[in-house]
Amino acid sequence: MAAWGQRLAGVRGVLLDISGVLFDGAEGSGVPIAGSVEAVARLKRSRLKVRFCTNESQKSLGDLVELLQQLGFDISEGEVTAPAPATCLILKERGLRPYLLISDGIRSEFDQIDTSNPNCVVIADAGESFSYQNMNKAFQVLMELENPVLISLGKGRYYKETSGLMLDVGAYVKALEYACGIEAEVVGKPSPEYFKSALQEMGLEAHQAIMIGDDIVGDVGGAQRCGMRALQVRTGKFRPSDEHHPEVKADGYVDNLAEAVDLLLQHADK
Amino acid sequence: MAAWGQRLAGVRGVLLDISGVLFDGAEGSGVPIAGSVEAVARLKRSRLKVRFCTNESQKSLGDLVELLQQLGFDISEGEVTAPAPATCLILKERGLRPYLLISDGIRSEFDQIDTSNPNCVVIADAGESFSYQNMNKAFQVLMELENPVLISLGKGRYYKETSGLMLDVGAYVKALEYACGIEAEVVGKPSPEYFKSALQEMGLEAHQAIMIGDDIVGDVGGAQRCGMRALQVRTGKFRPSDEHHPEVKADGYVDNLAEAVDLLLQHADK
């Protein structure tokens, strides 16, 4: 593999995944990953642009940012690209009234959305709310529609909490896709629109930006398909087999965000 | 389409799906589909061989047969090919110790199976037991295994209860397949081994048998791929769009089992 100087040349902005890169979640809280608080602070003091790009869909954006601030991170809502606000825009533009298969933690994001007489389903990381009853309701809503629309906030397979790996929304999306014979529209990584909107917020072209994430498919593969570079951290949901993934090869693997920032500050924007 | 006489010529045995053909299920009970009790009785008085071939995996075989007898059907356990007993044979043969993601109703079928220190997952139609917690446990068991084995009792998309369409085990199989990056082994329709074992019980070749079911993919498509003929009834989970399915075309569509039996008694075995 080429030297880091070559791999990071011309990088002017960094997209940071949040869960598994900044912190590991736990029931209602979380712990920062060692060195990440300082790494974010160092990045923000540098000439590099920084944007947070998350698929978090169990907490509202406000709650997520508040938690991160409590953990010591320098972050504000305006710096985060998150799927719920993007979904609300789509629902309004297309006159869609969703049945919401979501956790209570993110329900406030949809306060302004008409959910009467649903003509689509919105599915997010619902955790314990993925009961058979709720899944069946979503299924029945879709089966009643002539043109079933299923909008998914991300399509992750799993994420890591301090207690272990946890099933993510993507698994439940697959369940509904199979049962109904449909394909979901994904809002969030790895959707190209989602990465492009984050790039637009930064005022950068894809070749000037690098994604740092713990998901070899959603973060690394997704960003690379948009023409960005991408590093995988060996934290969060990282598994050793990711470094030999049959389809995706990161532009580099680093132990954690701190190491990524060391390398970026040394080699990027040169 | 050819005349019925031609389509049913040489049929010497009938495989009957149960749910949606004999009866529509409801919470803990069910109602016979009009004319089905008499249709089964007429079939059994004829020269045609009869076998019941079900993917039922929420109730034990004993409970299912007892329910059907209470509803008036002439049926005994020995006449039914069901997935749980077939699964137990596989588990024993291969020394597999399952984590059981199943309903309480079928748990007794696995009484003789060692479930300590699981080295595979068995998934059945678990209904309300498809909680996030149980799904996550199955997921975590699979992710811990070097060679994850997921055995699924059927792979149906949905079934019909008197209260409406209900998500079936196949949706949850897809969820685990996606999350773990694996493929399940299916015991039950539409697995060819399953149909073949039913044919063997009847002592018939595939070309001598016809399947009658309400599932255009699992019943009709599965049986046809084994060289059998298959009729779809317009009861149970049947939907009008099934008659224009992009991949599967039944050898005939009938309003219900009673009409199928009328036609069979008139034209089969000639």
pLDDT per residue over B183-229, tens digit each? 999 999 999 999 999 999 999 999 999 999 999 999 999 999 999 99
pLDDT of residue B270: 59
pLDDT of residue A12: 96
Mapping DSSP to helix (H, G, I), strand (E, B) and coil, where does residue A98 land? strand
Task: For residues A174 and A99, state if they share a domain.
Answer: yes
- Rounded-to-10 torsion of CA A43, A45, A48, A52: 50
Q: Which of B178, B238, B239 is the best substitution to test chain A (most A C-beta atoms within 10 A)?
A: B178
Task: For residues A123 and A148, state if they share a domain.
Answer: yes
Task: For residues A182 and A147, state if they share a domain.
Answer: yes
Task: For residues B37 and B163, state if they share a domain.
Answer: no
Domain final residue, candidates B187, B209, B238:
B187
pLDDT of residue B2: 82
DSSP chain B: ---HHHHHTT--EEEE--BTTTEEEETTEEEEPTTHHHHHHHHHHSSSEEEEE----SS-HHHHHHHHHHTT----GGGEE-HHHHHHHHHHHHT--EEEE--GGGGGGGTTS--SS-SEEEE---GGG--HHHHHHHHHHHHH-SS--EEEE---SEEEETTEEEE-HHHHHHHHHHHHT--PEEESTT-HHHHHHHHHHHT--GGGEEEEES-IIIIIIHHHHTT-EEEEESSTT--GGGGG-SS---SEEESSHHHHHHHHHHHTT-
**In-domain check, residue B231:** yes
Shortest CA gap B261–chain A (Å):
30
pLDDT of residue A270: 58
User: Do B132 and A127 lie within an 8 Å CB cutoff?
Assistant: yes
**In-domain check, residue B3:** no
Task: For residues A72 and A196, state if they share a domain.
Answer: yes
Nearest to B158 among A130, A133, A179 (CB): A179
Residues of the domain holding A106: 84-187
CB pairs under 8 A between A and B: 85
User: Quick one: CA dihedral B197, B201, B205, B206, positive or negative?
Assistant: negative
Nearest chain A residue to B146 by CA distance is: A241
Task: For residues A114 and A174, state if they share a domain.
Answer: yes
Sites in chain A below the pLDDT cut of 50 = none
* CA–CA dist A111, A95 (Å, integer): 15
User: What are the chain A neighbours of B102 within 8 Å (beta carbons)?
Assistant: none
> Which residues of chain A are at the B interface, by a Cβ-Cβ cutoff of 8 Å?
126-133, 135-136, 139-140, 143, 157-158, 164-168, 170-172, 174-181
User: Do B168 and A179 lie within an 8 Å CB cutoff?
Assistant: yes
pLDDT of residue B269: 63
User: What are the chain A neighbours of B165 within 8 Å (beta carbons)?
Assistant: 139-140, 143
Task: For residues B88 and B183, state if they share a domain.
Answer: yes
Q: How many domains does chain B have?
A: 2
User: What are the chain A neighbours of B136 within 8 Å (beta carbons)?
Assistant: 166-167
pTM for this prediction: 0.89
pLDDT in tens, A146-173: 999 999 999 999 998 888 999 999 999 9
Query: Which strands, in side-by-side order, build the sheet including B150-153?
Result: B98-101, B120-123, B150-153, B185-187
Shortest CA gap A237–chain B (Å):
12
Domain final residue, candidates B187, B208, B240:
B187
User: What are the chain B neighbours of A130 within 8 Å (beta carbons)?
Assistant: 131-132, 135
Task: For residues B114 and B240, state if they share a domain.
Answer: no
Domain final residue, candidates A129, A155, A187:
A187
Task: For residues A158 and A107, state if they share a domain.
Answer: yes
- A173: domain CATH number? 3.40.50.1000
**In-domain check, residue A251:** yes
pLDDT of residue A77: 96
**In-domain check, residue A3:** no
Task: For residues A204 and A75, state if they share a domain.
Answer: yes
Task: For residues B216 and B129, state if they share a domain.
Answer: no
User: Do A128 and B132 lie within an 8 Å CB cutoff?
Assistant: yes
Nearest chain B residue to A138 by CA distance is: B167
**In-domain check, residue B198:** yes
Shortest CA gap A246–chain B (Å):
12
Closest CA to A52 of A11, A15, A13: A15
Shortest CA gap A14–chain B (Å):
28
User: What are the chain B neighbours of A132 within 8 Å (beta carbons)?
Assistant: 126-131, 167
**In-domain check, residue B2:** no
**In-domain check, residue A2:** no
pLDDT of residue B26: 80
**In-domain check, residue A48:** yes
Task: For residues A181 and A206, state if they share a domain.
Answer: no
Along the 270 residues of chain B, how does pLDDT read in single tens digits? 789 999 999 999 999 999 999 999 887 789 999 999 999 999 999 999 999 999 999 999 999 999 999 999 999 999 999 999 999 999 999 999 999 999 999 999 999 999 999 999 999 999 999 999 999 999 999 999 999 999 999 999 999 888 899 999 999 999 999 999 999 999 999 999 999 999 999 999 999 999 999 999 999 999 999 999 999 999 999 999 999 999 999 999 999 999 999 999 999 865
User: Do A157 and B178 lie within an 8 Å CB cutoff?
Assistant: yes
User: What are the chain B neighbours of A158 within 8 Å (beta carbons)?
Assistant: 139, 143, 179
Closest CA to A63 of A105, A11, A120: A105
* CA–CA dist B176, B56 (Å, integer): 20
Q: Which of A178, A182, A241, A244 is the best substitution to test chain B (most B C-beta atoms within 10 A)?
A: A178
